[in-house]
Chains A and B, each alone.
Chain A
């Protein structure tokens, strides 16, 4: 047995009753190594992490054997690995700001790990906690509450806590979901540090850019099956499986740049727009013209006023100063919005069909025209008998797109329409959105935190910088 062998997974599988969700999978992870599991949602990536931790939802059964730093247990025996939590396996939670307890100070949440898990006496735990916070660049945050930290600070605090108990295996499940390039690099750097200081990292992601930056080995999962395994660089250079090639092509960095259409008459004009929120100025004295057919992309980190600008142009928010002038002759419903969370933009207890019929009726459109549009958006008619919660996010966002086009918008404001979708679905949804806009000749204002999407989509860009 090798001393630096940290994780040995042999024949890990997950079943729900007789249904197999994850096919037997074996791999090892040594100190200093990074292993990335790549796949779209539903591929079984998170199930694998849960099975290793011993944290599967009720009703799911793991098979195979797990050996963590010499401690061998059956994968089914979740209780055997519970004592290893924090001590040998650390889990980096998906949303660090939610993982911290809002009513307790950051320092005490780290201190308790050192005291209760590591077994340090109180004063030593306090000293050590202060030292670790300082090392993470959080020396002033020990006395703060989690909601007083920025996203990146919370991310660092959570990482310190996950590792404070002495864990050498860090499982990171989608640690970069919804983060922009800046924070993505930050997380990547942090994970690399863990590996460089003798730990091992198991990264679960659908974001190829993180995987690429971290290097190491790669496993590609699809629908619970392993379809490709090997060194990251080799696979990225010469993927052997068609699905892997598709995944790589779905990375926004590899998208072809869209042809900009010819722009037409002026639709909306903003003059001297200013808006502040909670005393923080989001934009000031901004002049903006939007023409028919134009692709205007607003890009920047969250909380910088991207959505606010769109809402001001649509007339959903009043600017603090300046004015928004609509082209004369526009219908009152000519400016439309596509929301970030499609589930929240449909009435939950109505079937999708009845929601769409209402929209048709409201805007005086023939049902057959909408049906044709759904067909072009590759939405099967049978989905319309379901409720919003019963279809996938990608499908629902396309249905939302079909619905918003009922109003024949002259300007469509799409607010992060695909940030919750995985790359394959995201690419498909955005391409359909672009095609629909080209076809209708409407202006598109697209808000995104993804600089690659902004690059391929934007004919004109407005970048909001972090404050």
Chain B
């Protein structure tokens, strides 16, 4: 039994490791090509970002082009970039001149903060609501959860963010609106992201718990003498946890996606925010670094979820069951 367990874990790690490699190659190349395809003169944009628009002439632009060898053919630049990537050298920011990894580590830490807080908030809001809705279908909790889900899933993050900002920060003054030196700036962006995720979680946990409650395993738990609450706690919730986790795995992409909009909105110094700035400045190495960081974040979360599913569901540790 223990040997099949370790092989299941090894398979999981191996799969994710291959994903990381493929991700490096694909995201990196796509970013590289997209930036090259953007309209406008690249050297001019970089020079403008460095020195400001008022001080840029064609002389500054050609100096930049010379320095960064921008006139090279595409494939040369791509090959060189690939070599650097394999050496885990993402180069320096074209704008600030700092090492991209160094900059990214800072942004990644901020994004991770935001993502983890969001995840915890979303689970704290969405799961109890979903379970309450499942226990009494058609009841008050069920109807509130449905309304909550429909409204929030239909509201884009930027609108929700502004509404929350107006309400909580401006109107009630409960939380700081955007990044400043006081604590608590994390809460508004986290809440904005969490509400959208919680809406989906509430729906999915409702149907998962309902299905688990109707399963023969739960019926037997009740007929062998457990109370409804005990059967829910000990049998329905462990069964329902699996589809909920699987849902989270798919929808974590919302978190990564949402960070671009929400971090910019709240000036949160995360990867998404850095990405937006780098796109404006045509800062190719930073764009690549940001995209790679986001992909890594996504894979990291999925790895954690996979591990959690493996821990909760012993069936996945069966030999031959590890191929997803």
Q: Which residues of A contact B (CB under 8 A)?
A: 53, 55, 85-87, 90-91, 93-95, 98-104, 112-113, 116-117, 145, 147, 158, 161-162, 164-165, 167, 278
Contacts and interface: CB of A to CB of B under 8 A. Distances in A.
A103 B313 contact: yes
A117 B314 contact: no
Contacts of B53: none
B119 interface: no
Contact of A101 (B221, B222, B223, B225): B221
Interface stretch (B95-103, B122-130, B212-220): B212-220
Contacts of A116: 225-227, 230
28 contacts: A85-B222, A85-B223, A86-B224, A86-B225, A91-B224, A93-B220, A93-B223, A95-B216, A98-B215, A99-B220, A101-B221, A101-B235, A101-B238, A102-B239, A102-B314, A102-B315, A103-B238, A103-B239, A103-B242, A103-B312, A103-B313, A112-B234, A113-B226, A116-B227, A145-B315, A158-B220, A162-B220, A167-B225
B219 to A, nearest CB: 7
A145 B216 contact: no
Tell me what chain B mostly uses at the interface: helix, strand, loop, or mixed.
helix
Give 7 nearest A-B pairs by CB, closest first. A86-B225, A117-B225, A99-B220, A165-B225, A91-B223, A98-B216, A101-B217
Contacts of A98: 215-217
Contacts of B238: 101, 103-104
Contacts, number: 78
Contacts of A117: 224-226
B276 to A, nearest CB: 43
Interface of B: 215-217, 219-227, 230, 234-235, 238-239, 242, 312-315, 318, 320
Contacts of A91: 220, 223-224
A90 B217 contact: no
Given A116-B226, A117-B226, A100 B220 contact: yes
A110 to B, nearest CB: 9
A103 B219 CA distance: 15
A147 B217 CA distance: 13
A85 B315 contact: no
A162 B219 CA distance: 12
Contacts of A161: 220, 224
Contacts of A94: 216
Contact of A145 (B219, B221, B223, B314): B314
B235 A90 contact: no
A77 B106 CA distance: 65
A99 B239 CA distance: 13
A104 B237 CA distance: 12
Contacts of A102: 217, 239, 314-315
B226 A86 contact: yes
Contact of A100 (B217, B223, B242): B217
Nearest to A101: B217
Of B219, B221, B239, most buried by chain A (CB within 10 Å of CB) is B221
Contacts of A278: 320
Given A103-B314, A147-B315, A85 B225 contact: yes
Nearest to B241: A103
Contacts of B313: 103
B312 A87 contact: no
A164 B221 CA distance: 12
A98 B318 CA distance: 18
A453 B84 CA distance: 73
Contacts of A101: 217, 221, 235, 238-239
Nearest to B212: A101
Nearest to A88: B225
B312 A93 contact: no
A87 B313 CA distance: 30
Nearest to A171: B223
Contacts of A158: 220
A147 B318 CA distance: 10
Given A98-B217, A104-B238, A278-B320, A162 B315 contact: no
Contacts of B221: 101
Given A90-B224, A91-B220, A112-B226, 13 more contacts: A95-B216, A101-B217, A102-B217, A102-B315, A103-B314, A103-B315, A104-B235, A117-B224, A145-B314, A158-B220, A162-B220, A167-B225, A278-B320
B217 A99 contact: yes
A278 B225 CA distance: 38
Contacts of B242: 103
A116 B234 CA distance: 11
Of B222, B225, B227, B318, most buried by chain A (CB within 10 Å of CB) is B225
Contacts of B312: 103
Given A102-B217, A103-B239, A145-B315, A87 B223 contact: no
A55 B214 CA distance: 13
A161 B226 CA distance: 11
A142 to B, nearest CB: 14
A100 B216 CA distance: 8
A87 B220 contact: no
A252 to B, nearest CB: 28
Contacts of A104: 234-235, 238
Contacts of B215: 98
Contacts of B227: 116
B29 to A, nearest CB: 41
A162 B223 contact: yes
B290 to A, nearest CB: 39
A76 B219 CA distance: 20
B224 A164 contact: yes
Contacts of B224: 85-86, 90-91, 113, 117, 161-162, 164-165
B273 to A, nearest CB: 41
B26 to A, nearest CB: 36
A147 B193 CA distance: 39
Of B222, B223, B224, most buried by chain A (CB within 10 Å of CB) is B224
A458 B85 CA distance: 70
A141 to B, nearest CB: 13
Contacts of B318: 147
Nearest to A105: B314
A53 B217 contact: no
A87 B222 CA distance: 11
